Structure 1
Amino acid sequence: MTATPFEKGLYETGNGIFAYLQPDGGWGWSNAGLITDGGQSLLVDTLFDASLTREMLGTMADAAGVGADDIGVIVNTHANGDHCHGNGLCKHAEVIASDASAREMAELSAGDLAAIMDQAKAMGPAGQYLVDIFGSFNFRDVAEKHPTQTFTGQHSVTVGNKRVDLIEVGPAHTAGDVLVHVPEDRTVFTGDILFVEGTPIMWAGPVANWIAACDIIIDLKPDTIVPGHGPITDEAGVRRVQDYLHYIDIEARKRYDADLSVRDAAHDIKLGDFSSWGDSERIAVNVSTLYREYSGDTAPPNVVQLFGLMAELR
């Protein structure tokens, strides 16, 4: 794999495949991808608001000759808004996602996020944390478009003469995570199964599914791996994410068995080498999800409380 700088912009990784990168890869600063062949194109994910997505599409038009109206298919790797809030700018595109992702998209709209941000200042430390991490995005300037086609398991599409395989690996990060694999070009777009140099956040779990998803990426033997957040990576980057997941599972289990609370466990776990990764306070969500997995608790988490704990840890 040729090293690609982690700088904002569009990078051709080879043979009509492009990665669009957004440093610093933290909350909301996601990556996207473009697959082209024979005059056809597929976009892997859009961005957190319409302004960012318009900028990306303009860059793609200038550098790759593919404008918004030329994109025939969008694949959303999962339901988080930083991967789908610009879908509607590609007016002619079919939007494909997993069934589970489509259900999650319907549960939390950009309008809901805008309303939450309007109330953030009254939410104490949790609200200030939301302003800190999401204040750069405009949730009133979005272009939502829900999936027009969904699938479970695996699904393949063609872009010109290229086969593109969509592999559902969720629930893991979210309920419906999908990998986008281009076998001919030995390329995988991972969505948020991979955060590189940033801390993974496990909203859904179980942790074993996420670890298995990393194994699937490795088994595909790709030359180029484009994560949902962070710089383009390789097998070693995938294994580091696995190492983190194994580590927090072991450490959270010890504290669960010792009857520590989620808060106390999140404070107590020493992250060692992983502490240099961005957004390390996401350990709060990861411990909460693991505790609920250990206990068999299927109730949704108290998200406001978790954002408050992340603010405290930060």
Structure 2
Amino acid sequence: MRMAEGLNNLGNGAWAWLAHSNSWGWSNAGLIADGEESLLVDTLYDLRLTSEMLKRMRAAEPLANNIDTLVNTHANGDHCHGNELVSGAQIIASTASAAEMAELPPEAMAAIVEAAADMGAVGQYFLACFGQFRFDDICHTPPNRTFEGELALQVGDKPVQLIEVGPAHTRGDVLVYSPRDRTVFTGDILFIEGTPVMWQGPVANWIKACQLIEAMDVEHIVPGHGPLTDKAGVSKVRHYLEYVRDEARQRYDSGMGAFEAARDIELSEYSSWSDPERIAVNVDSLYREFSGEQTMTDIFELFARMASLAGFEEPTQPSD
């Protein structure tokens, strides 16, 4: 059953918050409640969005008025920029995610958005992706508890398992699994009806994470972006990763450059997914993996490649 945007009751004290879009910055979140305790899975990209989500949760679930625990599934700001609004909660993330969060704090995003108008095509693309969010009033609020591997939590009488599956999408991706609710919140291990973006890799870790979800006894699978899904949806994400890996490998072995390969790969059945230009990042990460290169490509170069694939072009200079 396809659920509506906003707050959805999964039953038994489990809730899913679904964004209206699966594109850049429009992320999902979740809530697990039982007894006298509650756990929030992720906050949203800015304070306005997070405040609206919390308001809706608190109206529907009284235990959300005093959230005991917040889990950030990974370091991207659309899953943690609203942390300051969950005052008093224990904020948990993987050790790798906590370190990564400090590298692009909200004030840095605010500065980039402010400068984007003078950055040509890449700036226009960046504004199209992120210009609707407000970053200048956010106080960076990092996790105050970290872990590596797995962490067992309790929410009332419900066991909740945190399972680190990164590096994959980012350096420290975490699944939040509530067996009693037969529910898993996947963070950005799953983009449903949207193109995954592999900032980190290796791709094998991401594929393994999909296989782990496929093996779980779950009824509700809440992705980081897009509608609720089932195991068939998880398989589609895994197949995309396998397809792009294999296509990129062929082109790498033939000597083709990463951006040329990204332009050359036929997306076929995946072309209808939102943000297909993310293949530029995915192929670049795969090429790093194939070559053993440790240095990541400059983020503005990656956005320039995506801007080009998305049809954003540098403005023409007027002739004399």
TM > 0.5 fold call: yes
Q: Any idea what SS the aligned residue of 1:103 has?
A: helix
Q: Any idea what SS the aligned residue of 1:239 has?
A: helix
**Amino acid across the alignment from 2:11:** G
Q: Any idea what SS the aligned residue of 1:115 has?
A: helix
What is the CA distance between 1:39 and its match in structure 2? 1.8
What is the CA distance between 1:143 and its match in structure 2? 4.2
Mapped contact 1:186–1:223 kept (Cα < 8 A): yes
**Amino acid across the alignment from 2:71:** V
Encode CA deviations 1:29-48: one digit per residue, 9 max, x unaligned: 00000000002100000000
Mapped contact 1:256–1:291 kept (Cα < 8 A): yes
Matching residue of 2:9:
12
CA distance in 2, matches of 1:67, 1:13: 15
Matching residue of 2:314:
none
Matching residue of 1:181:
177
Matching residue of 1:111:
107
Q: Does 1:80 align with 2:97?
A: no
- Please, which of 156, 159, 178 is the counterpart of residue 160 of structure 1? 156
Q: How does 1:90-105 map to 2 (within 5 A)?
A: 90-105=86-101
Q: Any idea what SS the aligned residue of 2:250 has?
A: helix
Matching residue of 1:29:
26
CA distance in 1, matches of 2:64, 2:186: 23
CA distance in 2, matches of 1:263, 1:238: 27
- Please, which of 287, 304, 307 is the counterpart of residue 308 of structure 1? 304
Unaligned runs of 5+ in 2: 311-320
- Shifted more, 110-119 versus 140-149: the winner is 140-149
Mapped contact 2:16–2:29 kept (Cα < 8 A): yes
- Please, which of 48, 55, 58 is the counterpart of residue 58 of structure 1? 55
Mapped contact 2:179–2:217 kept (Cα < 8 A): no
CA distance in 2, matches of 1:10, 1:30: 13
Task: Provide the aligned length of Structure 1 versus Structure 2.
Answer: 310
CA distance in 2, matches of 1:182, 1:4: 21
**Amino acid across the alignment from 1:41:** S
Q: Any idea what SS the aligned residue of 1:41 has?
A: strand
Q: Any idea what SS the aligned residue of 2:271 has?
A: helix
Mapped contact 2:6–2:20 kept (Cα < 8 A): no
What is the CA distance between 1:67 and its match in structure 2? 4.2
CA distance in 2, matches of 1:312, 1:126: 8
**Amino acid across the alignment from 1:46:** T
Matching residue of 1:258:
254
CA distance in 1, matches of 2:263, 2:50: 37
Mapped contact 2:18–2:29 kept (Cα < 8 A): yes
- Shifted more, 279-288 versus 257-266: the winner is 257-266
CA distance in 1, matches of 2:20, 2:208: 27
Mapped contact 1:58–1:67 kept (Cα < 8 A): no
**Amino acid across the alignment from 1:242:** R
Give the aligned CA root-mean-square deviation in angstroms.
0.9
What is the CA distance between 1:121 and its match in structure 2? 1.6
- Shifted more, 120-129 versus 240-249: the winner is 120-129
CA distance in 2, matches of 1:244, 1:22: 23
- Please, which of 243, 246, 258 is the counterpart of residue 247 of structure 1? 243
- Please, which of 172, 187, 208 is the counterpart of residue 191 of structure 1? 187
CA distance in 2, matches of 1:18, 1:150: 24
Q: Does 1:221 align with 2:184?
A: no
CA distance in 1, matches of 2:260, 2:293: 19
**Amino acid across the alignment from 1:88:** E
Encode CA deviations 1:275-302: one digit per residue, 9 max, x unaligned: 0000000000000000000000000211
What is the CA distance between 1:83 and its match in structure 2? 0.1
- Please, which of 192, 198, 201 is the counterpart of residue 202 of structure 1? 198
CA distance in 1, matches of 2:149, 2:18: 28
Mapped contact 2:38–2:64 kept (Cα < 8 A): no
CA distance in 2, matches of 1:48, 1:231: 18
What is the CA distance between 1:118 and its match in structure 2? 1.1
